[in-house]
Structure 1
């Protein structure tokens, strides 16, 4: 009963925090539209990012107060708040967004997530994410593109348009490479051969690198795990039952392994996919070690 009451209270606090910060960000966005110069608009973007930092800080406080969490985070070096980064990560639940913001909010620019188009219509959250210039993606299936060839390449155009907004403000672009949250059912259906991961999809990260590759200082490869709460981490975090959060980080160079013409150079495309599979094999082994411990 106590856990259920705590879940209701924490959910209300998270919703209230999100609503208040979303309204503030949207007000800043309206003012930014009225500002006359790019330099002043950049200041508006910085102000919106500070509100997102406040949102992440309040969520971190709710998490810490409600849960007796052991944080197992590796030493993170070589990052700074004035850089541009591409972050890739496995994806387990809504908890991932809270954890990534908590861990990195004072180390690098506030993360900007690639979001599904449907999230644009979520009250408060969708409008705030739009105001923060987060990219909303509408993915097309292979079958749809065969029926509608005029839509081919539209994802890349949308990504370029979104990433163009990040060129003048230090930014961390987050890409969940698997494209969806992990579940045992999806893992069994994917037949990818991983124990704790789904098949990585190279298209999304390739779009981002094609649009901004030369601007990124590094690629941040993050591995997340909730070894004591693997099934419903977000619900159990709200109930005060989250006991351990593990974060492993590899900072990778933006080198010849990831810079090339993914869409027209077939040998590079194969090499890039091989590079990504190797990253996922290492990540799966990390997760095996974490859960074994």
Structure 2
């Protein structure tokens, strides 16, 4: 495609994505605020179920734009028939780009419940429009402290753990898919070298958050969805602009459904034997993921 046509396509797609997002974002704000003022717990629960359908509509329209642009550039492999839109899941994935969120929505929208991400509390004031919309949709917000801050004040680690547990209790109210990018950061070659990662295309996985979620939601979870994302493009990492310009060769998504077995449920921070086992299990998944 000629550069000028790519640029024009990027402008058109960016405007479409922005328009769709603003429209549905306003709908979430209005619906969420109405739910918030409903006094009856029963009616509030029913109304929340309807509001949670709004982001599914947002993703459906976004998917129409994506499909129109790049329908032949997707390689999706996985057992979609094993999934259900009214069950709870934990989705773990490698993290390549901000586009990962759109890609996961494109693949899984309406096949599994609404994707929910652990979000930093800072987003409530740094991105007030998006942050408030996510808060009204009961996205889990947590404070994330650096290792140096935790070393200075070990109490912060306990607060983080309790915040995750509290968020999980809230998620039990409606079916959801809790997404965890377990590397904790978007991949870059510089980060890989800095942390001496044993993998060629991945950062080291962090097991704690996923272990807590599985433990807290064990009686609700239908399973784990393990996703591997790969972008075939000359520009790495792929940006939103490059994605909007259709400036990529192919996007590969391979996923598998994993059952929740008893050996994956335990107290990660108090049971040393379980912690080692869970880390080993996750490292094996990551080694396999690195070979895709």
* TM-score, normalised relative to structure 2: 0.92
Q: Which residue of 1 aligns with 2:178?
A: 173
Q: Which runs of 5+ in 2 are unaligned?
A: none
Residue 173 of structure 1: how far off its partner (Å)? 0.6
- Alpha-carbon spacing, 1:45–1:203, altered in 2? closer, same or farther (3 Å): same
Structure 2 residue 196 is matched with structure 1 residue 191: yes
Q: Which residue of 1 aligns with 2:137?
A: 132
Specify which of 72, 81, 88 is matched with residue 92 of structure 2: 88
Instruction: Give SS of 1:94's match.
Output: coil
Structure 1 residues 95-126: Cα deviation after superposition (integer angstroms, max 9, x where no partner): 11111111111211011111233333314222
Pairwise CA distance, 1:42: 2.4
Q: Which residue is equivalent to 1:142? A: 147
In structure 1, how many angstroms separate the alpha carbons of the residues matched to 2:235 and 2:111? Answer: 27
Deviations 1:178-223 (A, max 9, x none): 1111112212212111111111011221231232223211011011
Question: What number of residue pairs does the alignment pair up?
Answer: 286
CA deviation profile, 1:218-270 (whole Å, cap 9, x unmatched): 01101111123561423321112233221111111111231011111101001
1:208 aligns with 2:219: no
Listed one character per residue, the Cα deviations across residues 116-154 of structure 1 (whole Å, up to 9, x for unaligned) are 333333142222111111112222223212322332311
Whole-angstrom CA distance in 2 between matches of 1:150 and 1:274: 27
Of the three residues 257, 260, 271, the one matched with 1:251 is: 257
The residue that corresponds to 1:6 in the other structure is 9
* Equivalent in 38, 43, 56 of residue 41 of structure 2: 38
CA distance in 1, matches of 2:186, 2:248: 19
Runs of 4+ with >6 A deviation: none
Deviation at 1:25, TM superposition (A): 0.7
Query: 1:281 aligned to 2:287?
Result: yes
Helix, strand or coil: the match of 1:226? Answer: strand
CA distance in 1, matches of 2:63, 2:133: 19
Structure 1, unmatched stretches of 5+, are: 287-293
| 1:62 alignment partner in structure 2 | 65
Equivalent pair of 1:202/1:273 in contact (CA under 8 Å): yes
What secondary structure does 2:228 align onto? strand
Alignment-derived partner of residue 262 in structure 1:
268
Counterpart in 1 of 2:245? Answer: 239
Residue 159 of structure 1: SS of its match in structure 2?
A: helix
- 8 Å contact from structure 1 (residues 229, 236) kept in 2: no
Question: CA–CA distance in 1 between the matches of 2:209 and 2:234?
Answer: 29
Q: C-alpha separation between the residues in 1 aligned to 2:249 and 2:71?
A: 6
Q: TM-score, normalised by structure 1?
A: 0.91
Distance across 1 between alignment mates of 2:36 and 2:12: 36
Q: Quote the RMSD (CA, aligned, Å).
A: 1.7
